Amino acid sequence: MSLDRLGPAYQPYALSLFRFITGLLLFQYGIAKIFKFPVLPQFADVPPLIMTAGTLELVLGGALMIGLFTRTAAFILSGQMAVAYFLGHMLKTGEPVFLPLLNGGTPAILFCFACLYLATSGGGPLSVDAAMEKKKGGFRRSGYAQSFDAAE
């Protein structure tokens, strides 16, 4: 069996898994910032801006996990992660540190672009969004199939 044939068949389900894991990872940051679980030194006494970020991560990360309003939630989280990188990592010391490896901003950049991808591709077939779309009478395909349809 060729991976060239196997890949496209499972791509929508891989997208759903990617959405779930991205949401789960953001959700855990929200739990740690708001509920202090697990106890982490960097989240012991968080300022209001970080608490707001934690609220977004908790609520919208949960929405991503179940695939509810995926595009909107992912777009907001992508913007939040971009702001987190610039304010919380690159400019943390007052002097700009551009290299993510040195400023600890790699997860923020990765989350930013992961969420940007989800904002453009949608939540996949295993999501609340897909179930609501099916109930309305049609399933809007996401990913490669949709982009090929638009090109025709």
Which residues of the chain register pLDDT less than 70?
Answer: 1, 138-152
8 A C-beta contact, residue 72 and residue 61: no
Dihedral sign for Cα 51, 73, 129, 19, please: negative
Span 22-31, pLDDT tens digits: 999 999 999 9
Cα 25 to the center of its chain, rounded Å: 8
Note the pTM of the prediction, 2 decimals. Answer: 0.85
Class of residue 2 by CB neighbours under 10 A (exposed 0-12, middle 13-18, buried 19+)? exposed
Separation of alpha carbons 118 and 123, rounded Å: 7
- Give me the pLDDT at residue 139, please: 55
- Give me the pLDDT at residue 149, please: 42
- Give me the pLDDT at residue 152, please: 39
Separation of alpha carbons 13 and 92, rounded Å: 38
Separation of alpha carbons 107 and 119, rounded Å: 18
- Give me the pLDDT at residue 144, please: 40
- Give me the pLDDT at residue 150, please: 45
- Give me the pLDDT at residue 2, please: 74
Separation of alpha carbons 32 and 66, rounded Å: 20
